[in-house]
Structure 1
Amino acid sequence: MRTILNIIWVVFAGFWLFIGYMAAGIVLCIPIFTIPWAIASFRIARYSLWPFGRQIVDKRQPGVFSFLGNVVWVVVAGWWLAIGHIVSGLALCVTIIGIPMGIADFKLVAVSLMPLGKQIVSTRSGAFD
């Protein structure tokens, strides 16, 4: 079932969200001091392409630098990625088949605003992704 949901997700929302995160990551690689945010963007891009079967969890002690980094992230890229998730989530919720994917899209809004201090975990084995 996860594979079917992931395939539908990629067709209707995942590919475009993946492109958005990759574009943000590439732009953030231009200045050297923003590379940590670019890495977070690439990590979330992979997750946004194939989200079912994985989940995002908080790190144990993210620290003050993660908070400050998230503030910079919201200003630079987070707000427009969050808008992309909200728009695609609303579009997915129009149909009954799209409702589970729309809900998954709304769950990605929080991580699109604050990606630092988070990690992606497989729901199958509990291993880190």
Structure 2
Amino acid sequence: MRFLGNIIWLIFGGFAVAIEYFVSGLALMVTIIGIPFGIQCMKLGMFALWPFNQRIQDRNEPDGCITIPMNILWFIIGGFWILVTHILFGILLFITIIGIPWGQQHFKMARLAFAPFGKDVVYKY
């Protein structure tokens, strides 16, 4: 069932969302300062390709004191708009019963878009 959900996700916008994250990530990696943010965009892009079999978890090892300032900077620069977009698409998909599983995936992506530093995307079986 998850496989079918991922295929439908890709056909109806998941592939386009992933490409947008990948292009944005490459654009951010042009400068040295943008590399950490580009890596987070790539993480979101990989998650956008196959979201039904993945979950978000906090890292077990300590990341140091840089995680919180980087998440704040991410949120101010563009993460807020990514968060709002995924929340709006999630709400829109929750209007119909059939759209609920895909709306849940947008809410998972919103959680990652809120604060991507210090989180990992893990494939679950």
Q: Does the TM-score normalized on the shorter chain lie above 0.5?
A: yes
The count of aligned residue pairs is 124
Q: Secondary structure of 1:57's partner?
A: strand
After TM superposition, give the deviation of residue 80 of structure 1 in Å: 1.3
Contact 1:17-1:84 at 8 Å conserved across structures: no
Give TM-score, length-normalised by structure 2. Answer: 0.88
After TM superposition, give the deviation of residue 34 of structure 1 in Å: 1.6
Question: 1:80-117 CA deviation, whole Å, 9 max, x = no partner?
Answer: 11122012112211221110110221122121010010
2:86 aligns with 85
Where structure 1 has 5 or more consecutive residues not aligned to the other structure, the ranges are 125-129
Give TM-score, length-normalised by structure 1. Answer: 0.85
1:15 aligns with 15
Q: Which runs of 4+ in 1 moved over 6 A?
A: none
> What root-mean-square deviation, in Å, do the aligned CA atoms of Structure 1 and Structure 2 show?
1.6
Give, in whole Å, the separation in 1 of the partners of 2:98 and 2:64. 40
Contact 1:29-1:35 at 8 Å conserved across structures: yes
Query: Percent of aligned positions with the same letter in both sequences?
Result: 36
Contact 1:13-1:88 at 8 Å conserved across structures: no
Where structure 2 has 5 or more consecutive residues not aligned to the other structure, the ranges are none
User: How is 1:57-96 mapped onto 2 (pairs within 5 angstroms)?
Assistant: 57-60=57-60, 61-96=62-97
Q: Secondary structure of 1:88's partner?
A: helix
Contact 1:22-1:41 at 8 Å conserved across structures: yes
